[in-house]
Amino acid sequence: MTTLESHICLQWIGNGRVEEEMLDQVKDHVERTFGFPARIRQVDVRPTDAFDPARYQYSSTKILRWVLQDVPLDAKKIVAITDCDLFIPVLTFVFGEAQLGGKGAVVSTARLRMNLNGLPTPRNLFRARLVKECVHELGHTFSLVHCHLSRCVMSRSNTVLEVDRKSGNLCRECQDHLKRRQAKG
């Protein structure tokens, strides 16, 4: 890490339009959690080879690889947010993917908008989910692994219900772990 790397970069790479104030909400929470300023970056290009016509989904690994090809020099971490439904080969879907102890992460809004009862998800609930998943994936880039405490934002979630059940914050143990990692640089 160089001294240039001063902020966390958030960027929308979805096919549709980004919702108003959505990224701001994520930005605020990320800044509070990780203690670094966050910046929202506009990008016009989109990944082209991530779509899998057989699954009608997008490869999270390919998108993440694409994101990492263009990281601002002064960005410490980068989180790309997309409306594409993401997958990795063995799993039906993923909410996101991150490099453990690396630089980048990608988070999808597609499944976070879904509700098990088929009804549309209220906007506040959807936003809360997105914030949690962005913090969760960013946590991985700060070397945090899955936490055994179900309330901790770093706990594993396979369904939106599990995302709803956890808080948006790091537990004390994960906070300590984060501080230790940051102190080491």
Can you tell me which of 11, 33, 60, 108 binds another protein, judged by CB under 8 A?
A: 60
Does residue 156 bind another protein (CB under 8 A)? yes
- What is the CB-side half-sphere exposure of residue 93 using CA atoms within 13 A? 17
CA gap 113, 5 in Å, rounded: 33
CA gap 26, 146 in Å, rounded: 20
Answer yes or no: 21 catalytic. no
Can you tell me which of 32, 46, 123, 146 binds another protein, judged by CB under 8 A?
A: 146
> In terms of C-beta density within 10 A (0-12 exposed, 13-18 middle, 19 or more buried), how is residue 57 classed?
buried
Measured from the CB of residue 170, what is the shortest distance to another protein in angstroms? 17
Residue of 47, 61, 143, 50 lying closest to 94 (CA atoms): 61
Does residue 88 bind another protein (CB under 8 A)? yes
Phi, psi dihedrals of residue 138, rounded to the nearest 5°: -60, -40
Q: How many residues bind another protein (CB under 8 A)?
A: 18
Q: Which is nearer to another protein, 6 or 158 (CB)?
A: 158
Can you tell me which of 24, 158, 172, 181 binds another protein, judged by CB under 8 A?
A: 158
Q: Which is nearer to another protein, 61 or 175 (CB)?
A: 61
Region of residue 57 (phi > 0: left; psi between -120 and 50: alpha; otherwise: beta) = beta
Residue of 134, 153, 83, 137 lying closest to 111 (CA atoms): 83
Q: Which is nearer to another protein, 148 or 179 (CB)?
A: 148
- Scanning 75-83, 91-99, 104-112, 120-128 for contacts with another protein by CB under 8 A, the matching segment is 91-99
Does residue 91 bind another protein (CB under 8 A)? yes
Measured from the CB of residue 95, what is the shortest distance to another protein in angstroms? 12
Catalytic residue among 20, 31, 97, 137: 137
Q: Active-site positions?
A: 137
